[in-house]
């Protein structure tokens, strides 16, 4: 029996990657952050961004990290995937994360997880990319991986074990 081994590429916090099959993109430590997965099933190209914040308008750094913000990470990841041969019209999305990790009041600034989810969905709508599945919200962390050969997304959490979307 032959067990197929695919390379696993780690995606850090405020980071993104795009690859052509075969390979798996994986990110850990999604609390209020969102792991946004894009996949072109025709060309078998996947992208994964570990988005920390909803909007680059709040950026304080001189040179902004495009992977850190939903409004810049998604367009940049789309461009990276197209550079590898993907087509925007084929792309589909899945996402996980966006938890409300701390109960510190109801101010909008403390709702980072829900705001990240909302911002990612707005960007997907802007590019007409359908959201095929999500595992978002709650109050627990997640690890996410996407398989570039078929677009399968695995979500691991201590609370819910392994979920496939």
Count of alpha carbons within 13 Å of 149, Cβ hemisphere only?
A: 8
Active site residue 33: yes
Q: What is the CA radius of gyration of the chain?
A: 15
> Are 31 and 157 contacting, i.e. CB atoms less than 8 angstroms apart?
no
Omega before residue 22 within 30° of 0, cis: yes
Query: Which of 19, 25, 30, 33 does the annotation list as catalytic?
Result: 33
> Are 70 and 51 contacting, i.e. CB atoms less than 8 angstroms apart?
yes
Point out the residues that are catalytic: 33
């Amino acid at each position: 029996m032959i067990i197929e081994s695919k390379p696993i590429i780690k995606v850090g916090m405020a980071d993104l990657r795009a690859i052509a099959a075969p390979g798996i993109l994986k990110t850990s430590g999604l609390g209020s952050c969102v792991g946004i997965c894009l996949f072109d099933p025709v060309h078998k190209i996947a992208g994964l961004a570990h988005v920390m914040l909803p909007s680059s308008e709040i950026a304080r750094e001189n040179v902004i990290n495009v992977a850190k913000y939903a409004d810049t990470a998604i367009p940049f990841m789309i461009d990276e995937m197209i550079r590898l041969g993907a087509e925007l019209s084929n792309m589909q999305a899945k996402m996980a994360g966006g938890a409300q990790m701390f109960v510190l009041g109801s101010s909008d600034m403390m709702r980072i997880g829900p705001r990240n989810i909302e911002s990612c969905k707005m960007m997907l709508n802007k590019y007409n990319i359908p959201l095929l599945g999500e595992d978002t919200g709650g109050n627990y962390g997640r690890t996410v991986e996407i398989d570039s050969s078929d677009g399968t997304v695995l979500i691991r959490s201590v609370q819910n074990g392994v979920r496939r979307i």
